[in-house]
Chain A
Amino acid sequence: MTQPLSKSIVIWAMVIVVLIVLSAPTIVVLGASLTSGNIITFPPDGLSLQWYAKIAMAADLRNAFLRSLAVASICTLIAIPVGTLAGIALSKYAVRFEHALQIYLLLPFTIPLIGSGIGLMLLFGEWGLLGQIWPIGVACCVINLPFMIWAVTASASSLDPDLELAAANCGAPPVATFFHVTLPAVLPGVISGSLLMFILALNEFLVSLLLTDARTVTLPVQIYNSIRSIITPDLAAISVVFIVCAALVIALLDRLVGLDIFLKSK
Chain B
Amino acid sequence: MPKSAYLLRWRVMDGLEALVAAIWPRHFHRALPYVMLLPAVLLVLLLVIGMIQIGDSSARTLDRSTFLPSDFYTAGNYQRIFTDGLYWSILWRSLLGSVIVTALCLVFAFPYSYLMVRTPSALLRKFLLIALFLPFFIGQVVRAYGWLIILGNQGVVNEMLGLIGVAPIRLLYNYPAVLFGLVQYMIPFAVLMLAPALTAIPEEMESAANSLGANWWRTFIHVVLPMARPGLVGAGLVVLTLSLTDFAMPAILGGGSQDFIANAIYDQFFRTSDQGMGAALTLILVGVGSLLVGVVFTLFGAGTLAMGRDRK
By a beta-carbon cutoff of 8 Å, the part of chain A in contact with chain B is 1, 3-4, 6-7, 10-12, 14-15, 17-19, 21-26, 28-29, 32, 39-43, 78, 81-83, 85-95, 98, 101-102, 104-116, 118-120, 122-123, 126, 138, 141-143, 145-146, 149-150, 153, 157, 173-176, 199, 202-206, 209-210, 220, 223-224, 227, 231, 235-236, 239, 242-243, 245-247, 249-250, 253-254, 259-260, 262-266
Q: Which residues of B contact A209 (CB under 8 A)?
A: 247
How far does the alpha carbon of A157 sit from the alpha carbon of B128 in the complex, in Å?
A: 27
Whether B44 lies near A22 (C-beta < 8 A) is no
Whether B17 lies near A14 (C-beta < 8 A) is no
Q: Which residues of B contact A206 (CB under 8 A)?
A: 247-248, 262
**Of the residues B51, B184, B238, B278, contact of A25 by C-beta under 8 Å:** B184
By a beta-carbon cutoff of 8 Å, the part of chain B in contact with chain A is 13, 16-17, 20-21, 32-34, 36-37, 39-41, 43-44, 46-51, 53-54, 57, 107-109, 111-112, 114-117, 125-126, 128-150, 152, 154-156, 159-160, 183-184, 187-188, 192, 195-197, 199-200, 203, 206-207, 210, 215-217, 238, 241, 244-245, 247-248, 251-252, 261-262, 265-266, 269, 278-279, 282-283, 285-286, 289-290, 293, 304-311
Whether A173 lies near B216 (C-beta < 8 A) is no
Nearest residue (CB) in A for B127 is A19
Enumerate 17 A-B pairs (CB-CB under 8 Å) in ascending A order.
A15-B111, A21-B187, A26-B146, A90-B37, A104-B41, A115-B283, A118-B278, A122-B50, A145-B43, A153-B307, A175-B20, A199-B137, A227-B148, A239-B138, A243-B142, A246-B133, A263-B125
Whether B262 lies near A85 (C-beta < 8 A) is no
Whether A11 lies near B150 (C-beta < 8 A) is no
Other than the given A19-B131, A25-B184, 14 more pairs (CB < 8 A) read A1-B203, A26-B138, A32-B149, A42-B156, A43-B159, A86-B36, A90-B307, A101-B41, A109-B241, A118-B50, A118-B265, A118-B269, A245-B137, A264-B196
A158, chain B: closest CB distance, angstroms: 12
Whether A25 lies near B147 (C-beta < 8 A) is yes
Whether B146 lies near A25 (C-beta < 8 A) is yes
A160, chain B: closest CB distance, angstroms: 14
Q: Which residues of B contact A42 (CB under 8 A)?
A: 155-156, 159-160
B226, chain A: closest CB distance, angstroms: 16
Q: Which residues of A contact B197 (CB under 8 A)?
A: 265
Q: Which residues of B contact A174 (CB under 8 A)?
A: 17, 20
**Of the residues B13, B111, B116, B290, contact of A263 by C-beta under 8 Å:** B116
Nearest residue (CB) in B for A152 is B307
Whether A107 lies near B152 (C-beta < 8 A) is no
How far does the alpha carbon of A246 sit from the alpha carbon of B141 in the complex, in Å?
A: 14
How far does the alpha carbon of A115 sit from the alpha carbon of B288 in the complex, in Å?
A: 12
Q: Which residues of B contact A236 (CB under 8 A)?
A: 145, 149
The 3 A-B residue pairs with the shortest CB-CB distance in the complex, in nearest-first order: A119-B50, A25-B146, A203-B139
Q: Which residues of A contact B278 (CB under 8 A)?
A: 118
Nearest residue (CB) in A for B20 is A175
Whether B57 lies near A29 (C-beta < 8 A) is no
Q: Which residues of A contact B137 (CB under 8 A)?
A: 199, 203, 245-246, 249-250
Nearest residue (CB) in B for A123 is B50
Whether B252 lies near A40 (C-beta < 8 A) is no
Whether B216 lies near A3 (C-beta < 8 A) is yes
Nearest residue (CB) in A for B188 is A22
Q: Which residues of B contact A119 (CB under 8 A)?
A: 47, 49-51, 53-54, 282
Question: Given A1-B203, A259-B126: A231 and B156 within 8 A (CB)?
Answer: no
Whether B41 lies near A11 (C-beta < 8 A) is no
**Of the residues A29, A92, A141, A210, contact of B33 by C-beta under 8 Å:** A92
Whether A157 lies near B37 (C-beta < 8 A) is no
Question: Given A14-B108, A90-B308, A118-B54: A242 and B142 within 8 A (CB)?
Answer: yes
Nearest residue (CB) in B for A85 is B36
Nearest residue (CB) in A for B219 is A7
How far does the alpha carbon of A235 sit from the alpha carbon of B17 in the complex, in Å?
A: 54
Q: Which residues of B contact A17 (CB under 8 A)?
A: 108
Q: Which residues of B contact A199 (CB under 8 A)?
A: 137
Nearest residue (CB) in A for B278 is A118
Q: Which residues of B contact A264 (CB under 8 A)?
A: 196, 199
Whether B247 lies near A122 (C-beta < 8 A) is no
A240, chain B: closest CB distance, angstroms: 9
